[in-house]
Structure 1
Amino acid sequence: MLYAFELSGEHQSLPVAEVLGTLTSRNLNYTVFAEYKQCLVADIFSETRSDNDIFQTLKDDISKVLAMSHTIFQVIDIVDVSEDDVLGLAENFPLDNYLKPGQTFVVRAKRMGDGTLLKSVDIEGRIGGRIFRRGFRADLSRPDVVFRLTLTDKAVFGVLVSAVDRGSYEHRSPQRKPFFYPGVLMPRVARALVNMAGVKENTIVVDPFCGTAGILMEAGLLGAKVFGVDAQEKIIEGAGMNMAGYSITGELLSKEEREKNQNESGPASCGRMDYELLAGDACRLPFKNEIADAIVTDPPYGRSAAIKAESLEGLYEKSFLEMYRILKKNGKAVVVSEIEVEKFAKNAGFEIQKTYKQRVHRSLTRTMTVLEKK
């Protein structure tokens, strides 16, 4: 069955990678049907799960964990972006498959950029009018069914599965956390990387350069067991303040609740994240072989003075060997860096799956490398 993911557009390819990584981690098979501007259409299927189960997984799970998508909807049809084609679709699609007698509806449309010929506000009313004349009543505030139209290279029309709450990530912006340190990843980027690594509930995630725990927090909020290591004790203390500062639902806790969490070990009854933080050396990680299901990390690029290696190159060489050692077979590592890391990854034994670039500002371009241990 075809599903569309309305993408945020904050990066050309990361949103697609995040969606596909999340589908894979939930054991959903897919083929990419089409990639349009800010819209991915995928045929999602499973040999063991029903269409209704897939729908519920998208609604109750995947839509709750994505960071770089706006909506997910089940595709009814895809037509050219023209008034005749879109309105013809509204008049002729099998409405009884999506609306039961007595149910209400609303139509919501979104334009991706300025290249479309149709204005989304106008087209909502005109599609709604066609559906109304087919015997169904509109309800703008509490409809039973939301029809979604995405106007991109094509007009993608369907039934809304769920909207992504992107605003929740703003509550975890670095400046709002109990401990702030500049130069860290924004929560939406950290969550996308975690999803690309296939993190989900009960997986074990390690960040050997955890800093203030921005990546670990996004993994912990998915229900993963997370381990963080950093060379600086004061940073580890700050990371502990951040991890103890939020509930498992991502809510910032009161000062009293934060202090209580910091004084307890393991996941507390209040529903905090399951984490362990250690001051240590990424070149000599204190973990057994193949303990981690996934590694997601943002190593220093020379801006940190607390490097327990003789050189930045030595740090990367030894830490990649350690990451390979502790990662389980078929596990993924996602590494963020300002420098190319392919040499270190290959020397350690990793296979390089994909590399992404993100221009942060004029003097900073991040490279995000997805690795796999075969």
Structure 2
Amino acid sequence: MELSGLLGKNVIIEALTGVFITNNVDIEKLKKSIAMSSCLKEAGLVLRIKGQEDWKEKINELEACRDIRITIRRVGGIGRQINKQQIISYFKKSYPGKIVLEAKKPEIKEDSCNLSIIITDGVIIYGIPIYYQGKSKLLSINPHDLPYYSPGALNPWFSRLLTNIAGLEKGVLLDPFCGTASIPTWASSNYHTIVCGDINPVHCKGGLANYSWLHGFDSKINIVRWDYNYLPMREASIDAIVTDLPYGRSVRSRGTSEEELAERFFKTFCYYLKNNGVTVVSISEDLYKFYRQSLCYLDSKCLMFIHSKLSRVILRFVKKTQQVDPSSLIRQG
């Protein structure tokens, strides 16, 4: 979902465990997408795809190389029956007189050739890496280390993931349940305006502190205290809505239930979107059933395991109609 959001729909022609194969993609846009991604690390050109039982392959593209650096990765522990040293020994024998080394990660250098070997789903993919960026810095950021923390705060990498799935690089981004403002703080897209809010005034103040800690004070973001039942938004005024629906005590303490809030959200969010606008929402599996209340088109979905005790369903909606009839929406109060 993230790569489709960053590159556009219909770019993935094959999806394997941990690997996506695309076609006719602009290389510079692909590099930018990897840099913006929450978890994608490497982009490269596929040379060969072989079955694991017949993995030996002479790569003619390496004949002109002075030295060869090989990175071998098993996705999710797949292909443990294939010995790494056996692969390295094979390439040393296949290219006599050349320096063949195993590298822990791709190093894009002009004076040497890099070969990535990825073992997944019964196949071995041989490719030349063209861009690599590790994600350890983003993944290592703990919400506890930010100026303001509240239980249930989203991890930065997950917030980045949600905004990337939305796939819009400009316009107005809305997070109606911003909490600690993790989603707007870590949004990688260059939205012109970010509007977010929360019913808890402490969250509004703390969320602004978190955003300012990373970006400084600017006029691009507005954090407002509001009740979702009475959002101060006009019809068809938002380009993208990205949010994580509140759950647990944070909802019940405000005199409503998680089910009531989810039903209300799915019945109304489409009203605020522009035509072709996108909504990406993360919800618990128990609330997934309410998505059918939406008047927008469900474009894609996936189940994401956050940690051992928490999983979320990510839904991506697109507004296909020119207008949503306000009379079809439930207004409370």
TM-score tier, shorter chain, comes to: 0.7 to 0.9
Task: Pick from 213, 227, 231 the counterpart of residue 285 of structure 1.
Answer: 231
Secondary structure, aligned partner of 2:11:
strand
Q: Point out where structure 1 has 5 or more consecutive residues left out of the alignment.
A: 1-16, 47-53, 248-260, 267-273
Note if 1:347 corresponds to 2:257: no
Pairwise mapping of residues 149-164 of structure 1 onto structure 2 (< 5 A)? 149-152=117-120, 153-164=122-133
Task: Pick from 315, 318, 326 the counterpart of residue 372 of structure 1.
Answer: 318
Partners of 1:36 and 1:154 within 8 A in 2: no
Cα distance, 1:179 vs structure 2: 1.0
Please name the residue that 1:55 is paired with.
27
Cα separation, 2, equivalents of 1:149 and 1:362: 30
Task: Pick from 20, 34, 48 the counterpart of residue 77 of structure 1.
Answer: 48
Moved more, 297-306 or 276-285: 297-306
Which amino acid in structure 2 is aligned with residue 36 of structure 1? L
Secondary structure, aligned partner of 1:69:
coil
Offset from partner CA, 1:187-228 (integer Å, 9 cap, x none): 22222222111133x232111001111111221x33223211
Which amino acid in structure 2 is aligned with residue 57 of structure 1? K
Note if 1:127 corresponds to 2:91: yes
Task: Pick from 165, 172, 175 the counterpart of residue 144 of structure 2.
Answer: 175
Please name the residue that 1:32 is paired with.
13
Note if 1:240 corresponds to 2:208: yes
Offset from partner CA, 1:256-307 (integer Å, 9 cap, x none): xxxxx3xx441xxxxxxx3211111122222222222211111212421577
Secondary structure, aligned partner of 2:173:
strand
Q: Structure 1 residues 239, 306: closer, same or farther in 2, change over 3 A?
A: farther
Which amino acid in structure 2 is aligned with residue 81 of structure 1? Q
Partners of 1:71 and 1:164 within 8 A in 2: yes
Which amino acid in structure 1 is aligned with residue 189 of structure 2? L
> Identity of aligned pairs, percent?
23
Cα separation, 1, equivalents of 2:261 and 2:250: 12
Note if 1:118 corresponds to 2:82: yes
Which amino acid in structure 1 is aligned with residue 262 of structure 2? Y
Q: Structure 1 residues 57, 222: closer, same or farther in 2, change over 3 A?
A: same
Moved more, 347-356 or 174-183: 347-356
Note if 1:41 corresponds to 2:21: yes
Cα separation, 1, equivalents of 2:237 and 2:161: 23
Partners of 2:12 and 2:20 within 8 A in 1: no
Which amino acid in structure 2 is aligned with residue 19 of structure 1? L
Which amino acid in structure 2 is aligned with residue 183 of structure 1? G
Which amino acid in structure 1 is aligned with residue 13 of structure 2? V
Pairwise mapping of residues 278-357 of structure 1 onto structure 2 (< 5 A)? 278-305=224-251, 311-341=257-287, 344-357=290-303
Q: Structure 1 residues 175, 125: closer, same or farther in 2, change over 3 A?
A: farther
Q: Structure 1 residues 205, 188: closer, same or farther in 2, change over 3 A?
A: same
TM-score, with normalisation over the residues of structure 1?
Answer: 0.73
Cα distance, 1:131 vs structure 2: 4.1
Partners of 2:259 and 2:287 within 8 A in 1: no
Q: Structure 1 residues 89, 314: closer, same or farther in 2, change over 3 A?
A: same
Secondary structure, aligned partner of 2:250:
coil
Cα separation, 2, equivalents of 1:293 and 1:128: 54
Cα distance, 1:79 vs structure 2: 0.8
Secondary structure, aligned partner of 1:45:
coil
TM-score, with normalisation over the residues of structure 2?
Answer: 0.81
Q: Structure 1 residues 305, 67: closer, same or farther in 2, change over 3 A?
A: closer
Partners of 1:18 and 1:68 within 8 A in 2: no
Which amino acid in structure 2 is aligned with residue 111 of structure 1? R
Offset from partner CA, 1:57-102 (integer Å, 9 cap, x none): 212x0110112223221101101224xx443333xx3447xx6xx7
Which amino acid in structure 2 is aligned with residue 30 of structure 1? V
Cα separation, 1, equivalents of 2:85 and 2:146: 38
Q: Structure 1 residues 88, 367: closer, same or farther in 2, change over 3 A?
A: closer
Cα distance, 1:363 vs structure 2: 5.3
Please name the residue that 2:221 is paired with.
275
Cα distance, 1:245 vs structure 2: 0.6
Please name the residue that 1:255 is paired with.
none
Equivalent pairs, count:
311
Q: Structure 1 residues 330, 346: closer, same or farther in 2, change over 3 A?
A: farther
Cα distance, 1:233 vs structure 2: 0.8
Please name the residue that 1:271 is paired with.
none
Please name the residue that 1:107 is paired with.
70
Secondary structure, aligned partner of 2:229:
coil
Cα distance, 1:186 vs structure 2: 1.8
Partners of 1:354 and 1:371 within 8 A in 2: yes
Secondary structure, aligned partner of 1:367:
strand
Pairwise mapping of residues 242-257 of structure 1 onto structure 2 (< 5 A)? 242-247=210-215
Cα distance, 1:138 vs structure 2: 5.7
Q: Structure 1 residues 138, 196: closer, same or farther in 2, change over 3 A?
A: same
Q: Structure 1 residues 119, 280: closer, same or farther in 2, change over 3 A?
A: same
